[in-house]
Chain A
Amino acid sequence: MANYSTSQFKNGMKLMLDGNPCSIVNNEIVKPGKGQAFNRVKFKDLITGKSLIKTFKSGESLESADVLELDMQYLYNDGSAWNFMDTESFEQHAIDDSSMDDARGYLVEQDMCTVVLWNNNPISVTPPIHVMLEVVDTDPGLKGDSAGTGGKPAIMNTGVVVQVPLFIGIGEVIKVDTRTNEYAGRS
């Protein structure tokens, strides 16, 4: 793979850091008045999702990471893996349950997700911003109540728990914001 030096660093660039593929979130050049230049770089580890900051001597280089972001359709879960299809190449990819993180609570069959591949292996899944989920369990609804007066926990068909308004009952389909895990309206 190609190497990139600090002067070529750009936001979004995918590079290898300590054996893990990382994405550059922010690259700050710091040149002390009386010293040599450094690059203080904020990375997101694409496997763990954690962010980390590293400081380099200007001119150091890192190996690029063979990382692809693809839009894929979620097909089904076979008990051990989550299966997706690339809607352009029609290639199918199975993603290990351990790589799913929080995404597993928002996967609805047929939804388009962003799947990150590293060396052709899927390493992370980002669900759509909004998904439609069905309430499978919650306390009985209260008539006349409107959104914004507290709320109650509800268990969705995917297993995730979302705080919903009191009037939402079992069997209803609601819109959930996957970035915040918040109720975003009724279907």
Chain B
Amino acid sequence: MIALQKKATLFKKIREFFDVQGLTEVQTPSLLNTPTTDVYIDSIAIATNQEIGQNTCKYLHTSPELEMKKLLSQGSGDIYQICQVFRDNEIGERNFNEFTLLEYYRLDFNIHQLMSDISALLRHLGIYDEVVKMSYAQAFSQFGKIDILNIDFESLKCIALTHDLNIDFEWIEDLQMLLFVHLVEPCLKDLPVCFIYDYPSEQSALARVDGRIAHRFELYLLGVEVGNGYDELQSAKSYQQVFALENTKRQQINKPSFELDLEFLACLEKPLPKCSGVAIGIERLASQLFAT
């Protein structure tokens, strides 16, 4: 089968899986009025309507997350979307300015139910390998002998130095990620399917936090990060807090900060139902799926 057909079959099978389970396929705008405030994700800005004298700066979406959450808050029920997304300043062997995301949300699911659902999706796509689940803390303890949830920034820097790594970081989460990339990820290369879950609260992003733990997970296929999922925050207030914090951090590292997405926050006056959601990179999934 040629690559084009393989990818087309992959799309067909993904839709088949969700249609049988009764999810609604949705399409949300990709040209937005507000860029993402995510500290390490940059929106691509587009100048529009210049020739008709109505200059507006718009932004290509970096993920359909907030637009889909608007639908969820308005009572859409379980939804999924397959779309192209755009990110500035991302070029590499596995990073591109444009790629395809599968994003989906399941009402009343916690992250463990969502991980089981993703495992079923992977089987439907032909990945029958054993699924390994490991908490972030377990992974660090096993592969790095580090008690990652209880160690402070200074002690973590000392450990990084013993591995001859850079320790010039503003925040502990950045050093956690460097150590994860250096010590843990290479050990995941032999695992066909691996979920890492329960991240330190510093890395909560848009996931629900309980004490030291953020209810978040990532999917790794043969050591490559393919998906990222959350037990989703629900109230407008909780999102506003995250966006404001992200903006502060962007300022600290001399990146532009942005106005908060007020349309989104207004929409969430009717909060999100309890749900979990995940974003999966289709090209990475395809390359790992067809590599085996």
Whether A55 pairs with B40 at a CB distance below 8 angstroms is: no
B114 to chain A, nearest CB (A): 16
**How many A residues are at the interface, by size bracket?**
10 to 19
Question: Cβ of B266 < 8 Å from any Cβ of A?
Answer: no
Whether B168 pairs with A57 at a CB distance below 8 angstroms is: yes
Which chain A positions have C-beta within 8 A of B41? 34
Question: Cβ of A40 < 8 Å from any Cβ of B?
Answer: yes
Which chain B positions have C-beta within 8 A of A38? 177-178, 181-182
**How many B residues are at the interface, by size bracket?**
20 to 34
Whether B93 pairs with A32 at a CB distance below 8 angstroms is: no
Question: Cβ of A19 < 8 Å from any Cβ of B?
Answer: no
Q: Which of B95, B165, B168, B173 contacts A35 (CB 8 A)?
A: B173
Whether B92 pairs with A34 at a CB distance below 8 angstroms is: no
Q: Which of A18, A29, A35 contacts B92 (CB 8 A)?
A: A29
Q: Of all chain A residues, which has the CB nearest B224?
A: A30
Whether B181 pairs with A34 at a CB distance below 8 angstroms is: no
Which chain B positions have C-beta within 8 A of A28? 92-93
| Docked complex: A13-38 residues within 8 A CB-CB of B | 18, 28-38
CA distance A28 to B177 in the complex (A): 15
Q: Which of B178, B185, B186, B228 contacts A34 (CB 8 A)?
A: B228
Question: Cβ of A60 < 8 Å from any Cβ of B?
Answer: yes
Question: Cβ of B16 < 8 Å from any Cβ of A?
Answer: no
How does the 8 Å CB contact mask read for A52-64 relative to B, with 1 for contact and 0 for none? 0111110010000
B188 to chain A, nearest CB (A): 12
B160 to chain A, nearest CB (A): 10
Which chain A positions have C-beta within 8 A of B93? 28-29
A55-B165, A56-B166 as given contacts; A40 in contact with B181, CB under 8 Å: yes
Which chain A positions have C-beta within 8 A of B165? 54-55
Q: Which of A30, A31, A36, A55 contacts B174 (CB 8 A)?
A: A36
B183 to chain A, nearest CB (A): 9
A35 to chain B, nearest CB (A): 4
A58 to chain B, nearest CB (A): 9
Question: Cβ of B225 < 8 Å from any Cβ of A?
Answer: yes
Whether A30 pairs with B181 at a CB distance below 8 angstroms is: yes
Whether B177 pairs with A32 at a CB distance below 8 angstroms is: yes
Q: Select the residue from A18, A34, A56 with max chain B CB neighbours within 10 A.
A: A34
Whether A32 pairs with B164 at a CB distance below 8 angstroms is: no
Question: Cβ of B269 < 8 Å from any Cβ of A?
Answer: no
A31-B90, A35-B173, A36-B40 as given contacts; A55 in contact with B203, CB under 8 Å: no
Whether A31 pairs with B92 at a CB distance below 8 angstroms is: yes
How does the 8 Å CB contact mask read for B161-203 relative to A, with 1 for contact and 0 for none? 0001110110001100110111001100000000000000001
Q: Of all chain B residues, which has the CB nearest A40?
A: B181
Whether A35 pairs with B40 at a CB distance below 8 angstroms is: yes
Question: Cβ of B67 < 8 Å from any Cβ of A?
Answer: no
CA distance A35 to B177 in the complex (A): 7
B61 to chain A, nearest CB (A): 15
A42 to chain B, nearest CB (A): 10
Question: Cβ of B218 < 8 Å from any Cβ of A?
Answer: yes
Whether B95 pairs with A34 at a CB distance below 8 angstroms is: no
Whether A55 pairs with B225 at a CB distance below 8 angstroms is: no
Q: Of all chain A residues, which has the CB nearest B173?
A: A35
CA distance A54 to B279 in the complex (A): 29
Which chain B positions have C-beta within 8 A of A36? 40, 174, 177
Question: Cβ of B38 < 8 Å from any Cβ of A?
Answer: yes
Q: Of all chain B residues, which has the CB nearest A17?
A: B164
Complex A-B, nearest 6 residue pairs according to Cβ-Cβ distance, in ascending order: A29-B92, A55-B182, A35-B177, A33-B228, A36-B40, A30-B181
Can you report 16 A-B residue pairs in the complex whose CB atoms are below 8 A from each other? A28-B92, A30-B181, A31-B90, A32-B40, A32-B225, A34-B203, A35-B40, A35-B174, A35-B177, A36-B40, A37-B40, A38-B182, A40-B182, A54-B165, A55-B181, A57-B166
